[in-house]
Structure 1
Amino acid sequence: MLVPLVVVLLALAACGGGSFMEEVGATRSAENSSPGAVTAPPTTDAEEQVPRPETEPGATAPAPGTATAPADVTRFAVVGDSITAGFLPLRGTTVVGAGSWIPAARQHPQLEFAGGWAVPGATTTDMLAGVRSVDADVLIVLAGTNDLAMGTQWPTTESNLLQIVGAAGVPTVVLSAIPPRDDRPAETQELNGRLRQLATSQGWSFVDPWGDMASEGTWVGGTSMDGIHPTDDVAALVGQRLAAAVAAAG
């Protein structure tokens, strides 16, 4: 009776007894592991990239749903010629040409540039044809120097300026004096006087950012490259002065 039993056991071993013993060994190994041991899942890339909020010691976190109010910002728009645009037309809120005062003005911490219309060589008639309504708080108009070159009479310039402001639809207006012109000093001074009077009559602000750069209607030495346009340094200074006027008006 022993011989058949031995034969049966040998047959079982040949048919998978080894796998059975491996399973038993694995089971015992699992049973012998430390009870309650937990393996932490790996940290994903997403978890590593999510920043943790940092709060300064003693700071109070804002209540849920509470937004922090932004600082007051005045949006300004422009209408002008090469003195404003530089030597290439203004493209939206992008100044393409050199010589513009806008880049310096937009550095003012309380101002945001909203665009407008400014093209080299433009007269007030050209500006009236090109200007469109713009979403801004303050409009700066610097216009008229090319009217002098074209021989445009004051009644036309005045009418154009009034219509330009109406077309832009901006509630607050800053009217700037035109810069000196070495070839037309007397006419420049006369036009600036009329611009000041127009601003007063309309309740607009008037600013003359060129005062210390002009001498009886002509440029002070070293402030202009051609007797009409300011140097880059002067343009930057004028931008700062116009920005201050806008901030005060807005």
Structure 2
Amino acid sequence: MRRSLPVGVLVGVLLTLLVVSGFLPSERGSNDATPQAAEPERAAPLRVAIVGDSLSAGRSRFLGNGLDDESWMRYAEGDGIDFVGGWAKSGATPTEMADAVRPVGRVDVLVVLAGTNAVRTGHSLAQEASAYERIVATVRPTKVVISSIPPYRWHAAAALRYNADLRRFTIEHGWSWADPWVVARDGDDWAPGFSTDGTHPAGPEQYAALGDSFRRIILETRGLPSAV
């Protein structure tokens, strides 16, 4: 005598056959049919140029020799930031930078770190203001970041005045004001160990910290309107 299969078993077998033959959607097939949101396109790297003095020039004292372990841009570039050039030389005032800088193609963000040597030579921002305008006009970036100058132990009060005037000047022009020296400052002076000469970061470790600070500042410009 043949024994019949239980009804529940028969139903399970039939459902399996229907899924395999394609008459019923399997769970996997149902998910596959659901439209998937496309992955957002990764933003193109920001093309960044810099103009400055020894604080940006590196160990060789001239940016044209390339980035080295005392170039803050070495630590800022990569993964969203492309360094495309600029001009920086030890001892240069903003006026000397404006005279020397040349266009470097398309620039998304221009970072200008200039003014310590203006203070060193007794110049006020009023005497150097047009130099910043000429630098921007030459490079023609989409966005402009003007950096504060660091503590200057030998002319501390003059450096503070220059920074205050430079900040107002930057805001009046619709540019972005940045203070990357938060990591290096203790009050109005250098943080202990960050500078040995009272003018520059002490070495590669300190320039790396400065580069990390600038990197955050540069990447944040993605959300800012164009200023030029």
TM-score (norm 1): 0.67
What corresponds to 1:244 in structure 2?
A: 216
Q: CA-to-partner distance for each residue in 1:185-208, whole Å, 9 max, x for gaps?
A: 111111111121111111111110
Alpha-carbon shift at residue 134 of structure 1 (Å): 2.0
Alpha-carbon shift at residue 120 of structure 1 (Å): 0.9
- Is the CA contact 2:125–2:166 (under 8 Å) kept in the aligned structure 1? no
Secondary structure of the equivalent of 2:86? strand
Q: CA-to-partner distance for each residue in 1:60-108, whole Å, 9 max, x for gaps?
A: xxxxxxxxx774211000000010111321127x215x4220110113x
Q: Distance in 2 between matches of 1:213 and 1:249?
A: 22
Bigger radius of gyration among the two: 1
Distance verdict in 2 for CA 1:70–1:154, change over 3 Å: closer
Q: CA-to-partner distance for each residue in 1:5-31, whole Å, 9 max, x for gaps?
A: xxxxxxxxxxxxxxxxxxxxxxxxxxx
What corresponds to 1:220 in structure 2?
A: 191
Q: Distance in 1 between matches of 2:192 and 2:215?
A: 25
| Aligned pairs for 1:227-238 within 5 A | 227-231=198-202, 232-238=204-210
What corresponds to 2:14 in structure 1?
A: none
Alpha-carbon shift at residue 217 of structure 1 (Å): 3.1
After TM superposition, the runs of 4+ consecutive aligned structure 1 residues lying more than 6 A away are none
What corresponds to 2:20 in structure 1?
A: none
Q: Distance in 1 between matches of 2:146 and 2:161?
A: 15
| Aligned pairs for 1:86-235 within 5 A | 86-88=58-60, 89-91=62-64, 94-96=66-68, 98-107=69-78, 109-135=79-105, 136-231=107-202, 232-235=204-207
TM-score (norm 2): 0.74
- Is the CA contact 1:79–1:127 (under 8 Å) kept in the aligned structure 2? yes
Q: Are residues 1:81 and 2:53 paired?
A: yes
How many residues get paired? Answer: 179
Distance verdict in 2 for CA 1:83–1:120, change over 3 Å: same
Distance verdict in 2 for CA 1:140–1:203, change over 3 Å: same
Secondary structure of the equivalent of 1:91? helix
Structure 1: tracts of 5 or more residues without a match: 1-68
Q: Which moved more, 1:191-200 or 1:211-220?
A: 211-220
Letter matched to residue 82 of structure 1: S
Root-mean-square deviation (CA, aligned residues, Å) is 1.7
Q: Distance in 1 between matches of 2:127 and 2:186?
A: 27
Q: Distance in 2 between matches of 1:191 and 1:153?
A: 7
- Is the CA contact 1:184–1:217 (under 8 Å) kept in the aligned structure 2? no
Alpha-carbon shift at residue 226 of structure 1 (Å): 0.9
Structure 2: tracts of 5 or more residues without a match: 1-40, 223-228
Q: Distance in 1 between matches of 2:86 and 2:168?
A: 24
Letter matched to residue 210 of structure 1: W
Alpha-carbon shift at residue 148 of structure 1 (Å): 0.6
Alpha-carbon shift at residue 238 of structure 1 (Å): 1.2
- Is the CA contact 1:176–1:209 (under 8 Å) kept in the aligned structure 2? yes
Q: Distance in 2 between matches of 1:168 and 1:216?
A: 34
- Is the CA contact 2:183–2:209 (under 8 Å) kept in the aligned structure 1? no
